Amino acid sequence: MKQSPPPVTASTVNWISAQPPLLRFLHACYADFLPEDGGTVADYIPELGKADPAHFGISLATLDGHVYEVGDTKVPFTIQSMSKPFVFALALDTLGAERVESVIGVEPSGDPFNSIRLNAENHPFNPMVNAGAIACSGLIHTAKGDGAFEFIRQALSRFAGRELGVDEAVYASESATGDRNRAIGYLLRTNGVIAENVPDVLDVYFRQCAILVTARDIAVMAATLANRGINPLTEQQVMTPYAISRALSVMTSSGMYDYAGEWIYRVGVPAKSGVGGGILAALPARLGLGSYSPKLDKHGNSVRGIKVCEALSAHYDLHMLNRSDDARHSIIADYNIGKNPSRRVRRPQEQEILAKHFQEVRVIELVGTLSLSNVDYVSRRLGGGPRPEFVIFDLRRVTATTRAGARLVAEAFQELAALGVTVILSGIKRTSREWTTISEWTSRLGNIRDFYLLDTAIEWAEDQIVYRYGGSIDFVETTELSEQPLLAGLDEAALGDFAALCTVRTYQPHETIIAAGDAATSVFFLRSGVVHVTLPDGVRLATLTAGMAFGEMALLEPKRSANVVADMSATAFEITIADFERFRAQHPPACERIMRNLAQLLADRLIVANAKVDLLTSG
């Protein structure tokens, strides 16, 4: 058996190069296994025997909502036993774990799926065999009465992300030939597992098995299981994570019937098969796979479907017990504000304080999933070096948060609070799923601040350091041009002539002073207030206070490349480029000095930008 894509030829190179690697691999699997002729179509339910044995479809759904499809993925077929994990999860959510677990076990049986046998406690071995599945249908019937089947159909539709119908012919055929399941039903009634009318319960069971799905549907349903109950297409939480984790657990041990041990040993992905020819496989936190091919092996599993799952697991090393995630890769950067200050331009007094106390603010940028092992590593990493006064955790690259990880985060925050360290979060929206998970554990901690932008979080922490060490961040008026770094070193005569060419301008809060793309006709020197400089896409480049210049690139470029907006009421000295040229003719040495100062300012900015790049590439 090949496990790589077919050879590339001149006629196929354009087609293949346009495909993502996963889709190319699924095409290769389809080509490899389509000739497979082993197995037989199930005919103990006569209507199932009418399935076309040539049908073969493979679909794979990712947790970000992308679905790959190859072959007959739109062909409808009945879900059969693949409904079992979903109805088990539904029963757990509807009646509660204690009630469900009191009458249904979770141990493998080692018997065929339709065995008429109970465990030592006279309960079904697990919900993946027919006895356990009928018991689940009975529990739903107890809770919902005549609406039980519709309740189940709607739940499965939420898993698939669309309304699912029923194959009435298969339902009638199952009902007419379901004497073995009737025997199981009465055995369950005799032992008190179900208390309902047996024919009514079996009618629900036969109908749920006849629900129509496609290979695409079951891939999405599997991905919803893999995504802790959140449908990756609709983003709806269709079932609680508790119910999902328990369903996956039983799928792992018993989903493939008396082939389950071999399956988990060789493939290592929780899965469930159905005699209609489908197999769904759900790899937690990664993907969902659905395949359809009606010809079954002696265990009742799709022959081609088994081969697809084996090939995918082997090729991409997806065995769930062979995870190789390295917690050390969860930190993309770890630094203090000495290496990466905020974009706020500081006055000399503030710079002096921050230069002396730069180790008091530590920033840790995280990536990937906040799992227990990752958070534990971060906690131990944080313990190295001097204790800071502020720790900023940047979560903008975090894609998921486990409950265990969130709980450990909260416990780590409690420890930091006890040591007098203030925790600051950045990069996470309060409406996001990650915020909900984290805040569930951290809501009672009063020492946590959060800012969406990392730069805003760093600026706030810097302000606190300035305040704590005797500094002040005043918005006073600066009337002297001699305090401007761009004009440093000019003598009094030159400064006097320069001031005579300036005009004082006043700006209202949120007023745009400079717009990107406009002609660069002036340079400004802020006298009072605060302005911020942003790129056209809104990324902040700098925040400036009184005593600082902006628009100075007009001395080098004809067009504005950034916006400048007043944060509050502000005043500024403005000198036009035309007046500056007149000043240059009057005071050549002074203008040379201004250009040297500008070169130094640009060099300082480049050093900071390089430091940011170094942090990310070496983190």
Question: Residue 618: what pLDDT?
Answer: 54
Closest among 143, 291, 148 to 206, alpha carbons compared: 148
Q: Under CATH, what is the fold of the domain 327-468?
A: Transcription Regulator spoIIAA (3.30.750)
Environment class of residue 496 by beta-carbon count within 10 Å: exposed (0-12), middle (13-18) or buried (19+)?
A: exposed
**DSSP class per residue in 216-250:** HHHHHHHHHHHTTTB-TTT--B-S-HHHHHHHHHH
- Integer angstrom CA distances of residue 134 from 138, 193, 251, 478: 6, 10, 16, 82
Question: Residue 2: what pLDDT?
Answer: 36
Domain 481-615 annotated CATH 2.60.120.10: yes
Helices (H) and strands (E) counted in the chain, each on its own, are 21, 22
Q: What is the tens place of the pLDDT at every residue in 257-308?
A: 778 888 888 899 999 999 999 999 999 888 999 999 999 998 889 999 999 9
Question: Residue 606: what pLDDT?
Answer: 74
pLDDT band (50, 70, 90) for residue 528: confident
How far apart CA 323 and CA 390 sit, in angstroms, is: 34
Q: Phi first, then psi: what are they for 93, rounded to 5°?
A: -70, -30
Residue 138 has pLDDT above 90, yes or no: yes
Question: Residue 612: what pLDDT?
Answer: 57
Q: What is the tens place of the pLDDT at every residue in 464-521?
A: 999 899 876 655 567 678 878 899 899 999 999 999 999 999 999 999 999 999 999 9
Q: What is the tens place of the pLDDT at every residue in 557-569?
A: 999 999 999 988 8
Q: Under CATH, what is the fold of the domain 13-316?
A: Beta-lactamase (3.40.710)
Q: What angle do CA 387, 391, 393 make, to 5 degrees?
A: 140
For 146-155, 446-455, 480-489, 547-556, which range has the lowest pLDDT when averaged over its residues? 446-455
Please check whether residue 222 is in contact with residue 61, taking contact to mean a CB–CB distance below 8 angstroms.
Answer: yes
Question: Residue 112: what pLDDT?
Answer: 67
The pairs formed by 594-601 with CB atoms below 8 angstroms and a separation of 24 or more are 594/486, 594/487, 594/490, 594/555, 595/555, 597/485, 597/486, 597/487, 597/488, 597/489, 598/486, 598/552, 598/555, 598/556, 601/485, 601/486, 601/552
How far apart CA 307 and CA 296 sit, in angstroms, is: 12
pLDDT band (50, 70, 90) for residue 327: low
Q: What is the DSSP letter of 559?
A: B
Residue 404 has pLDDT above 80, yes or no: no
Question: Residue 440: what pLDDT?
Answer: 64
**DSSP class per residue in 476-514:** -----GGG-GGGTT--HHHHHHHHHT-EEEEE-TT-EEE
* Element housing 68 (H / E): strand 67-71
Residue 1 has pLDDT above 50, yes or no: no
Question: Residue 5: what pLDDT?
Answer: 41
Residue 8 has pLDDT above 50, yes or no: no
The per-residue pLDDT of the chain, averaged, comes to 86
Residue 243 has pLDDT above 50, yes or no: yes
How far apart CA 276 and CA 294 sit, in angstroms, is: 6
% the chain with pLDDT above 70:
89
How far apart CA 578 and CA 521 sit, in angstroms, is: 8
Question: Residue 451: what pLDDT?
Answer: 84
pLDDT band (50, 70, 90) for residue 19: low
* Residues designated as active site: 81, 84, 205, 257, 275
Written as six digits, the tokens of 587 are 């005071």
Residue 16 has pLDDT above 50, yes or no: no
pLDDT band (50, 70, 90) for residue 344: confident
Please check whether residue 115 is in contact with residue 129, taking contact to mean a CB–CB distance below 8 angstroms.
Answer: yes
Environment class of residue 613 by beta-carbon count within 10 Å: exposed (0-12), middle (13-18) or buried (19+)?
A: exposed
Buried b (16+ CB within 10 A) or exposed e, 189-223: beeebbebebebbbbbbbbbbbbbbbbbbbbbbbb
pLDDT band (50, 70, 90) for residue 116: confident
**Kind of pairing between the strands at 503-507 and 512-514:** unpaired
Q: What is the tens place of the pLDDT at every residue in 175-220?
A: 999 888 999 888 899 888 888 889 999 999 999 999 999 999 999 9
List the chain domain ranges.
13-316, 327-468, 481-615
pLDDT band (50, 70, 90) for residue 57: very high
Q: What is the tens place of the pLDDT at every residue in 348-373?
A: 888 899 999 999 999 999 988 888 77
Averaging pLDDT over each range in 12-16, 67-71, 324-328, which range is the top one? 67-71
Written as six digits, the tokens of 266 are 């060789």
Is this model's pTM higher than 0.85 or not?
Answer: no
Question: Residue 480: what pLDDT?
Answer: 78
Neighbours of 404 (CB within 10 A): 14
